[in-house]
């Protein structure tokens, strides 16, 4: 079901089974420093509205309208294939510059700019194709490395999944029954829109906050058949997109980036290297009750993670000798090795680690090994009972 090896395949050969459950960037607002851009249409800098904001927080300091007239340049190709590219000028306050604005060119990118590779989405594999297309418009020029280094805002991440029409109705009911506040979620039951989205009924994207992000599920088949007909008929004639649905979530501001743990991920290229699946999970789980926090002594967060991994390994048949080998290392300095061994004994002597099971596992492993049975042939009782459940 999961197939990440789509690069190089002809669009006509791809079926929806090739890309479902594969997270990708669908769209974003990119910005590139002015000195890295050569404008092929010189009037852009003079004619476009500019905002001064801090990219770290998304805070808008002022909107400049005195010197800049206030319209954007739109490369409109809607009548040809249903796509367009919006390009303009913005000003960002770099953190630590005390309000000194950096003038930048911005553009809205969309996976539709990949044309037949639309369903692959914007990834590191498709990013060069996106760059080549934008450069082919001859509105501006920048080096590929500077395009990779562009800042991003208003970025949408998505993945597609298969779902029948009646199944989606049940899915929406189950979703509203499961979330902590059903009032955040709003369903569409129209002929041309059957989706469900959060956090507000009106202007959900503008109303989104880090703790209540803009998230939606919708019918891609309906979208292609009614809203994006020019695009779908141009590039996906004969393609089977029936019962195809999409999950989409949006990173709106710098504050939201910080909540997601992306504070230092400033370029689109770095963002594309991140675990997009994890980001999808993080945003969706904002709408569920938080798991109850159980305090475990005075352990630090990293120690809790290590103990959880140790217990997981024990549950899956690891004995004390193999556990010890992870701490008794030869690839660290002598002093570090001493510290690790001290931690091992401290963890093993704590009540949080299932030491009794680890010791029993080790006896099983030792006896079976002596009798010529390999580790992969052994079924540990605790794991067997867990699998049954």
**Environment class of residue 30 by beta-carbon count within 10 Å: exposed (0-12), middle (13-18) or buried (19+)?**
buried
Judge contact between 67 and 83, C-beta under 8 A.
no
Q: What is the pLDDT of residues 183-222, one digit of tens each?
A: 999 998 776 789 999 999 999 999 999 999 999 999 999 9
User: 3-12, 150-159, 295-304, 373-382 — which is least confidently predicted?
Assistant: 3-12
Which of 106, 245, 62 has the alpha carbon at shortest distance from 171?
245
Task: Kindly report whether the global pTM for this prediction surpasses the value 0.85.
Answer: no
CA pair distance 321, 215, nearest whole angstrom: 47
* Alpha-carbon distances of 24 from 106, 112, 351, rounded to whole Å: 21, 13, 42
CA pair distance 89, 49, nearest whole angstrom: 7
Tokens of 85: 């590219």
CA pair distance 382, 313, nearest whole angstrom: 12
Residue 282, phi-psi category: left (phi > 0), alpha (psi -120 to 50), beta (remainder):
alpha
Q: Are strands 73-77 and 83-93 parallel, antiparallel or unpaired?
A: antiparallel
In the chain, domain spans: 11-285, 301-388
Q: What is the largest CA-CA distance in the chain?
A: 86
Judge contact between 25 and 119, C-beta under 8 A.
no
Judge contact between 326 and 358, C-beta under 8 A.
no
CA pair distance 19, 159, nearest whole angstrom: 8
Q: What is the pLDDT of residues 308-342, one digit of tens each?
A: 999 999 888 888 888 989 998 889 888 888 889 88
The mean pLDDT value of the chain amounts to: 82
pLDDT given at position 77: 81
């Amino acid at each position: 079901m999961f197939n990440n090896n789509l690069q190089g395949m002809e669009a006509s050969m791809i079926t929806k089974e090739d890309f479902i459950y594969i997270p990708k960037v669908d769209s974003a607002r990119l910005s590139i420093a002015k000195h890295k851009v050569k404008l092929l249409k010189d009037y852009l800098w003079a004619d476009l509205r500019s905002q001064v904001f801090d990219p770290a927080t998304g805070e808008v300091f002022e909107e400049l309208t005195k010197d800049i007239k206030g319209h954007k340049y739109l490369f409109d190709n809607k009548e040809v294939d249903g796509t367009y590219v919006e390009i303009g000028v913005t000003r960002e306050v770099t953190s630590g510059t005390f309000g000194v604005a950096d003038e930048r060119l911005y553009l809205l990118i969309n996976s539709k700019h990949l044309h037949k590779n639309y369903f692959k989405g914007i990834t590191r594999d498709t990013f060069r194709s996106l760059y080549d297309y934008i450069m082919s418009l001859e509105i501006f020029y920048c080096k590929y490395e500077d395009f990779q280094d562009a800042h991003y805002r208003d970025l949408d991440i998505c993945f597609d999944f298969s779902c029948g029409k009646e199944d989606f109705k049940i899915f929406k009911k189950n979703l509203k029954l499961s979330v902590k506040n059903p009032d955040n979620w709003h369903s569409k039951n129209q002929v041309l829109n059957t989706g469900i989205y959060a956090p507000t009924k009106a202007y959900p994207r503008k109303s989104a906050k880090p703790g209540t992000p803009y998230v939606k599920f919708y019918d891609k088949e309906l979208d292609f058949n009614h809203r994006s007909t020019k695009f779908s008929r141009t590039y996906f004639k004969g393609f089977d997109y029936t019962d195809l649905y999409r999950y989409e979530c949006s990173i709106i501001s710098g504050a939201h980036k910080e909540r997601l743990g992306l504070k230092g991920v400033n370029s689109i290229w770095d963002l594309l290297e991140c675990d997009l699946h994890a980001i999808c999970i993080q945003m969706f789980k904002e709408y569920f009750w938080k798991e109850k926090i159980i305090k475990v002594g005075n352990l630090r967060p990293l120690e809790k993670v290590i103990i959880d991994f140790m217990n997981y390994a024990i549950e899956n048949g690891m004995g004390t000798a193999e556990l010890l080998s992870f701490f008794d290392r030869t690839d660290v300095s002598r002093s570090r090795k001493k510290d690790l061994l001290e931690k091992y004994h401290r963890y093993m002597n704590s009540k949080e680690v299932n030491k009794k099971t680890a010791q029993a596992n080790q006896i099983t492993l030792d006896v079976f090994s002596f009798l010529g049975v390999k580790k992969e042939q052994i079924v540990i009782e605790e794991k067997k009972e867990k699998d049954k459940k």
